[in-house]
Amino acid sequence: MLKDIKTINLDIPTNYFCDVIMTTQASFEINVRIQDKQGKVLFDKTRQSQDAQPIINETFLSTSEGLLLTVSCAKSNNLDIRSTDMSIVTQVGVISKSYILVAEDSGDDDYNDLWVAINAWRHEG
């Protein structure tokens, strides 16, 4: 099998506080990486477990306008990622942005192989 890699643009402003929560229930190793547009890696975790616990939870400060999320699975050739996002907007603009992603790595359509939540918010006011 070929390594399957998916990249998603995250519309997160510069200097927003970010929290990433990640878990897997997969037979294969799945890597999640978030980097800024200059290539600086802000989050990079690989997990392979059929037990969802312990959950990975890390924080970082966004360092550029817009970030790139890359999900890769070396033993999958058909990584199917489903996602949704939401923004909280006030008169000053976006004050919070969230993304939730689920992934299927093999074809049993349970979409529990990867679960990632990325939450970002203004930490200065």
The CATH number that applies at residue 16 is 2.60.120.400
Question: Tens of pLDDT along 43-101?
Answer: 999 998 888 899 999 999 999 988 999 999 988 878 899 999 999 999 989 999 999 99
Nearest to 124 by CA among 14, 8, 5: 14
- Tokens, residue 23: 């878990």
Residue 67 domain boundaries: 4-122
pTM of the model: 0.91
Q: How many domains does the chain have?
A: 1
Q: Whole-angstrom distance between the N-terminal and C-terminal Cα of the chain? A: 49
How much is the pLDDT for 3? 61
Q: Are strands 30-36 and 67-73 parallel, antiparallel or unpaired?
A: antiparallel
Q: What is the pLDDT of residue 44?
A: 98
